[in-house]
Amino acid sequence: MKSVKAFAPATVANVSCGFDILGFAIDAMGDYVEVSLRDKPGLKVISIEEDGGKLPWEVEKNTCAVAIQAMLDSFGKQVGMDISLRKGLPLGSGMGSSAASAVAALVAANRLLGDPFEKKDLLPFAIVAEKAACGAGHADNVAPSLLGGFVLIRDYHPLDVIKLPVPEGLYCTLLHPHFQLNTSDSRSVLRDSIPLKHSTIQSGNVAGFIAGLYQQDFGLISRSMRDVIAEPYRAVLIPGFYEVREALKGAGALGMGISGSGPTLFALSEGADKSKEMAKAAEEIYQAIGLGVDVHFSAINTVGAYVLEEK
């Protein structure tokens, strides 16, 4: 085998109540990475498509290369590889763009080496890449992009990652307004400490959300989609946030929140039926404030990243 191409899906991190500890993968979009063996040692980024010329090609900065290098360091043998990235995800969108690139690169490179690592064991390498991309080694995008479904990061030290059930019929609508918000900027507005009462509220909601997934209780999921830690500080960076939320709830959403660090907003619904109406209600608001928006409809992706092609 000389070359492997892999796909990794977009993700919604935080899911309102689970800042840095909860995320899920979506079916609608993702990134593609092809990794080929090269004669000379070392990694080289040989092509990047659909990024508008914005992503770095240097191996110390490119998330695909950083992730593969971390994997090779652990593998204990430096194998030369060429890396080609095709972005399916917009940059700085809050849909786990850097995570999908790193995860697809890892899945492809691991297969090229003969799968020495189990899928879940690729996660620490993806976190190294995430840290290089945005300054914080959060796993709530990379873990669901790799593993699919809803994923809980119970602890980071040591890493303890738990796959959660996906209730039948749970559906996601994504609203991606036409502007970029970098995760590092969106993290810089957060506070270092939170009041005790907010910790209580947030713990109750994240526990309630997870119970809702296990019990397939859409009412409980809906009641638990509340964030008092990050959303109040980030909502001001996203024009129309509160108006869109009201409109979506009125149109039947279980809840709406910021997808990861934004500016994309996500809404969950029971089934796909209400999603068109929800999107229409949101589009009217974006139109009124003069902001373009892309709407994506998606079931929850339960498989995560996978190999597309081997040559």
Give CA–CA dist 67/8, Å, rounded.
14
Q: Does residue 20 touch ligand HSE according to CB under 6 A? A: yes
Of the candidate residues 261, 264, 269, 275, the single one contacting ligand HSE (CB under 6 A): 261
Q: Of 23, 101, 19, whose CA–CA distance to 68 is shortest? A: 101
Q: Does residue 94 touch ligand HSE according to CB under 6 A? A: yes
Q: Say if CB 301 and CB 149 are below 8 A apart.
A: yes
**C-alpha pair distances (Å), 292 with each of 95, 173, 217, 282, 295:** 17, 16, 34, 11, 10
The reply to whether omega before 90 is within 30° of 0 (cis) is no
**C-alpha pair distances (Å), 187 with each of 133, 180, 182, 230, 262:** 13, 14, 9, 9, 10
Q: Applying CB under 6 A, which part among 12-20, 62-70, 146-154, 157-165 lies near ligand HSE?
A: 12-20
Which one is catalytic: 11, 183, 231, 264?
Answer: 183
Task: Assess whether 183 carries a catalytic annotation.
Answer: yes
Which residue's entry shows tokens 């080929």? Answer: 36
Partners of 49 in the beta sheet? 86
Rounded least distance, CB 19 to ligand HSE, Å = 6
Footprint of ligand HSE on 228-247 (CB under 6 A) = 230
- Which tokens hold the place of 103? 């995860």
Nearer Cβ to ligand HSE (112/257): 257
Task: Assess whether 231 carries a catalytic annotation.
Answer: no
Q: Does residue 30 touch ligand HSE according to CB under 6 A? A: no
Coil, strand or helix: which one is 197? Answer: helix
Footprint of ligand HSE on 130-169 (CB under 6 A) = 138, 140-141
Of the candidate residues 183, 275, 298, 301, the single one contacting ligand HSE (CB under 6 A): 183
Nearer Cβ to ligand HSE (12/112): 12
Q: Does residue 36 touch ligand HSE according to CB under 6 A? A: no
* Identity at 204, one-letter amino acid code: G
Q: Does residue 13 touch ligand HSE according to CB under 6 A? A: yes
Q: Does residue 93 touch ligand HSE according to CB under 6 A? A: no
Active-site residue list? 130, 183
- Contacts with ligand HSE, residue ranges (CB under 6 A): 13-14, 19-20, 94, 138, 140-141, 183, 187, 230, 260-261
